[in-house]
Chains A and B, each alone.
Chain A
Amino acid sequence: MSQHTISPEITHAPQHSEGTGRIWKIFWVLSFLTIIELALGYFLYLKADDLSHTVILLTKIVIGILTLLKAYYIVSVFMHLGDEVRNMIMTITVPLVLFVWFIIAFLWDGNSWKEMRNTNAGSRPSIEKVQTAPVKEGDRK
Chain B
Amino acid sequence: MSTTTIPAGTKWWNGGRSPFNASYGKVMMWYFLMSDAFTFGAFLISYGTIRFSVNDWADPNKVFNSFPFAGHANLPLAFVSLMTFILIFSSVTMVLAVHEGHNMNRKGVEKYMILTIIGGAAFLACQAWEWTHLLTGEHVTLLNDGTMSVLPTTASSNPWGLPLEHNAMVAALQKTPHDQLVNIASTLHHSGTEVAHNTSAMSNTELINMISNSEIHATNLGRPAFGSYFFGITGFHGFHVLSGVVINIIMYIKTKLGHFDQRGHYEMIEKAGLYWHFVDLVWVFVFLCFYLV
A residues neighboring B (CB under 8 Å): 2, 4-7, 9-12, 16-17, 20, 23-24, 27, 30-31, 34, 37-38, 40-42, 44-45, 60, 63-64, 67, 70-71, 74-75, 77-81, 84-85, 87-88, 91-92, 95-96, 99, 102-103, 106-107, 109-111, 113-114, 117-118
Closest to A113 in B: B53
Q: List 20 A-B contacts (CB under 8 A).
A: A2-B102, A2-B103, A4-B264, A9-B17, A10-B22, A11-B17, A11-B21, A38-B292, A64-B288, A67-B285, A71-B284, A74-B91, A79-B274, A92-B34, A102-B42, A110-B50, A110-B51, A110-B52, A111-B52, A114-B53
| Chain B 1-43 interface residues, beta-carbon cutoff 8 Å to A | 16-23, 27, 30-31, 34, 37, 41-42
* Central interface residue in B104, B278, B287, B288, by most chain A CB within 10 Å: B288
Check: B96 CB closer than 8 A to any chain A CB: yes
Known: A4-B265, A96-B34. A41 touches B292 (CB 8 A): yes
Q: Which residues of A contact B284 (CB under 8 A)?
A: 67, 70-71, 74
Contact A45 B61, beta carbon cutoff 8 Å: yes
Query: Interface SS of chain B: helix, strand, loop or mixed?
Result: helix
A27 and B92: CB pair below 8 A?
yes
Cβ-based interface call for B99 (8 A): yes
Q: Indicate whether B236 reaches chain A with its CB closer than 8 angstroms.
A: no
* In the complex, chain B residues whose CB is within 8 Å of the CB of A34: 81, 84-85, 88
Q: Tell me the bound Cα distance from A87 to B27 in angstroms.
A: 12
- What is the chain B residue whose CB lies nearest that of A19? B99
- Known contacts: A23-B99, A63-B292, A74-B281. The answer to whether A96 contacts B264 by CB under 8 A is no
Give, as a whole number of angstroms, the nearest-CB distance from A125 to chain B.
23
CA of A110 to CA of B51, assembled, Å? 7
Contacts of B248-274 to chain A: CB distance below 8 A: 264-265, 267, 270, 273-274
B76 within 8 A of A: yes
Does B102 lie within 8 Å of A16, measured CB to CB? Answer: yes
Q: Contacts A20-B96, A30-B88 known; A75 to B267 CB distance under 8 Å?
A: no
Q: Are A106 and B45 in contact (CB under 8 A)?
A: yes
Give 1 or 0 for each of B47-79: 1 = CB within 8 Å of chain A CB.
Answer: 011111111000001000000000000001100
Set of chain B residues within 8 Å of A103, measured between Cβ atoms: 45, 48
Please determine whether B49 and A110 come into contact, CB atoms closer than 8 angstroms.
yes
Residues of A near B51 (CB, < 8 A) are 110
Q: Which 7 A-B pairs have the closest CB atoms?
A: A110-B52, A113-B53, A110-B49, A88-B20, A110-B53, A16-B102, A4-B265
A78 contacts B91, C-beta separation under 8 Å: yes
Main SS at interface, chain A = helix
**CB neighbours of B95 from chain A (8 A):** 23, 77-78
Known A-B contacts: A23-B96, A110-B52. Give 13 more (CB < 8 A).
A5-B265, A10-B23, A16-B102, A37-B288, A44-B293, A75-B277, A87-B19, A88-B22, A88-B27, A99-B45, A102-B45, A106-B49, A111-B53
Number of B interface residues in the complex (CB < 8 A): 60
Q: Pick the contact of A4 from B84, B92, B104, B292 — CB < 8 Å? A: B104
A111 to chain B, nearest CB (A): 5
Contacts of A109 in B (CB 8 A): 49, 53
What residues of A have a CB within 8 angstroms of the CB of B88 in the complex?
27, 30-31, 34
Q: Which residues of B contact A74 (CB under 8 A)?
A: 91, 277, 280-281, 284
Asked if A99 and B41 make an inter-chain contact with CB atoms under 8 angstroms apart, the answer reads: yes
Cα(A113)–Cα(B292), bound, Å: 23
Q: Decide: B55 and A106 in contact? CB cutoff 8 A.
A: no
Given known A-B contacts A4-B265, A5-B264, A74-B281, A63 and B49 have beta carbons under 8 A apart: no
Q: Kindly report which residue of chain A lies nearest to residue B78, judged by CB atoms.
A: A38
Tell me the complex Cα distance, A40–B76, Å: 13
CA distance in complex: A64, B42 (Å)? 17
- Chain A minimum-CB-distance residue to B104: A2
Kindly provide the distance from the CB of B53 to the nearest chain A CB, expressed in whole angstroms.
4
Q: Report A-chain residues with C-beta under 8 Å of the C-beta of B292.
A: 37-38, 40-41, 63
